[in-house]
Copies of this chain bind each other. A is one copy, B any other.
Amino acid sequence: MPQPAPKTDARTKLLEAALSVVRAKGYSATSVDELCAAAGVTKGAFFHHFKGKNELGVAAADYWSEMTGALFANAPYHDHADPLDRVLGYVAFRKALLKGGVPDFTCLVGTMVQETYETAPAIRKACEHSITGHAATLEADIEAATRERNMAPDWTAKSLALHTQAVIQGAFILAKATGGAEIAADSMDHLRRYIEMLFRVGTGQAKHLTDGDSK
């Protein structure tokens, strides 16, 4: 009673509900009523916290950035000394995340931006920020890995970081199309192989790892 209990408030419950419902049904097909029902709150609570559905969309994208940001920040792949191992560890971590049903491991902002990129600029921007912000966490390690090896590649660390996101997002689409994660896992294997090759046979004057395989 004197202590305000740490109960989850309606806003958080709505955002949490948005994560699961929108990932399963898409943004447009998710109604406000449905969101309220899933969150166990009423419509009044919804419009108390959000001006409208689109504002919830933006908030959900931001919330997603927060959640996934924490997940990846605390992931063990950062412990590697070699920045390249951190990058490869990231890809392995992404692959390990492919568990459970398709809606459980796919990306909220990747789903949302497809539906809203032309019709809801605010949501598009929030999704862009989420994806590019996440890619940016890889960029430093990629950059460090090239510098450590005195490479002068004809690609930028930024473009490779974004490419990993493209592969991952595309893998999710294939998973949704086939109804399973297997193809997505295969694609991430190809991504891992690509990165390994980039840092072994530099395009240009770079050279690396004269002895055998890493495993």
A166-B187, A170-B171 given as contacts; is B26 within 8 A of A115 (CB)?
yes
Are B119 and A29 in contact, with the CB atoms below 8 A? yes
Chain B positions within 8 Å of A179 at CB level: 117, 124, 128
Are A25 and B119 in contact, with the CB atoms below 8 A? yes
Closest residue of B by beta carbon distance from A23: B118
Q: Is A96 an interface residue (CB 8 A)?
A: no
Interface flags, A84-117, vs B, CB<8A=1, else 0 = 0000000000000000001100000111011111
The interface stretch among A3-11, A39-47, A142-150, A188-196 is A188-196
Are A173 and B166 in contact, with the CB atoms below 8 A? yes
Q: Is A138 an interface residue (CB 8 A)?
A: no
Query: Which residues of A (130-174) have their CB < 8 Å from a CB of B?
Result: 131-132, 155, 159-160, 162-163, 165-171, 173-174
